[in-house]
Structure 1
Amino acid sequence: MATNLNKLVLATLVVAALLRGSWAQTTHVVGDSLGWTIPPGGAVAYSSWASQNNFTVDDILVFNFSNGSHDVAEVTKAAFEACNATSPISISNSGPTNITLSTAGEHHYICTFTGHCTAGQKLAINVTATTTAPSPPPPTATAPTPSSTATPPPPPSPTGTATPSSPPPSETTTSPPPPNSATSLAGAALPVALLSIAVALLH
């Protein structure tokens, strides 16, 4: 029984890790319904599309095009600006092509068919590193330490009425709000939930 439980726990953790990794990536269809083609109106179509998307390491670009009509080549920034396809970093002739963004920084893509890049079939994107939950900032102010000697209360008044005492001045400090940890909380909750379900099924 313990062996089966160990296997189930291990399988649950593996599935949770795989699911968490798949949530981190986004698939972007280049140009959306336009696809990868000579855009009407020129290169502004792809630059506008890129400005509406956020690209992160491990995201996937999908270039939809017909074989023999287009291709997609990753090129340097200089080659992108000059529409020079002589030394591409990589090239794919079969569509649709999926490209996984494996590094942060600028990435440039063109179609190498004659005249296509100069007619606007080119894409430049900026890829950011995988996001992680930021660590909380250090406290900006420290609370005063209590004194080692206590002040005795004032003696009662001789008339029998209590003397109103003013509350001691208090020093209040407010900390900044905690960083948004909803994403990391959701990612951490999945393995716990799956493990709880597995344990519940065994009992």
Structure 2
Amino acid sequence: MAQGRGSATRGLAFVGGFLAACLLLGAADIAAAATHNVDWTFNADSWSQGKNFRAGDVLVFNYNPALHNVVAVDAGGYYGCRPSGTAYSSGNDRITLGPGTNYFICSLNGHCAMGMKMAVTAS
């Protein structure tokens, strides 16, 4: 009987250690997230070129809210300048990147059509 209890204790210790390691790895991913300050202006798409982004990174869009906004859109909204997603208008918006390509436009005064849009790909 004692042998059975010892095996169970070792099994629980292994499972507990495994779960702790998983939690630490998850915390490491969160800690590794970077914050990027975006200068949200015309021709903003060039801002992301040459930079590396990961899912979980945070973009901080800085702009004058009386003149601009940020709308998170899908590819169709990006290429067609259609504001079909979540709109932000604080002038200091924090948006967490998801995996894949994340699209943003300014939906005010035809700004998207004038180049105020950005696609950011996160690994």
Structure-1 residue corresponding to 2:45: 47
Structure-2 residue corresponding to 1:36: 40
CA distance in 2, matches of 1:82, 1:126: 19
> Are the equivalent residues in 1 in contact too, given 2:45–2:116 (CA < 8 A)?
no
1:83 alignment partner AA: C
The one of 94, 107, 114 equivalent to 2:90 is 94
What is the CA RMSD across the aligned residues, in angstroms? 2.0
Pair 1:77–1:19, CA change in 2 (3 A)? closer
Q: Confirm whether residue 107 of structure 1 aligns to residue 105 of structure 2.
A: no
The one of 116, 124, 128 equivalent to 2:119 is 124
Deviation of the 1:57 alpha carbon? 1.1
Deviation of the 1:58 alpha carbon? 1.0
Aligned residues: 100
* Higher relative contact order, chain-length normalized (CA < 8 Å, sep 6+): 2
Within 5 Å, give how 1:1-203 maps onto structure 2.
Answer: 20-21=28-29, 23-30=31-38, 35-37=39-41, 39=42, 43=43, 46-85=44-83, 87-88=84-85, 90-101=86-97, 103-128=98-123
CA distance in 2, matches of 1:104, 1:80: 17
SS at match of 1:55: coil
Deviation of the 1:100 alpha carbon? 1.1
CA distance in 2, matches of 1:19, 1:106: 24
> Are the equivalent residues in 1 in contact too, given 2:30–2:56 (CA < 8 A)?
no
Q: TM-score, normalised by structure 1?
A: 0.45
| Structure possessing the higher radius of gyration over alpha carbons | 1
CA distance in 2, matches of 1:92, 1:124: 16
Give the structure with the higher percent strand. 2
Pair 1:76–1:21, CA change in 2 (3 A)? closer
> Are the equivalent residues in 1 in contact too, given 2:65–2:89 (CA < 8 A)?
yes
Deviation of the 1:21 alpha carbon? 4.7
SS at match of 2:64: coil
Identity %: 34
2:113 alignment partner AA: T
Structure 2: stretches of 5+ with no match in the other structure: 1-19
Deviation of the 1:22 alpha carbon? 5.0
CA distance in 2, matches of 1:116, 1:69: 10
CA distance in 1, matches of 2:104, 2:115: 11
Pair 1:65–1:81, CA change in 2 (3 A)? same
Give the structure with the higher percent helix. 2
Q: C-alpha offsets along residues 74-132 of structure 1, whole Å, 9 cap, x if unaligned?
A: 111111111112x22x111111101011x21111000010211111110001111xxxx
Q: TM-score, normalised by structure 2?
A: 0.72
CA distance in 1, matches of 2:48, 2:65: 24
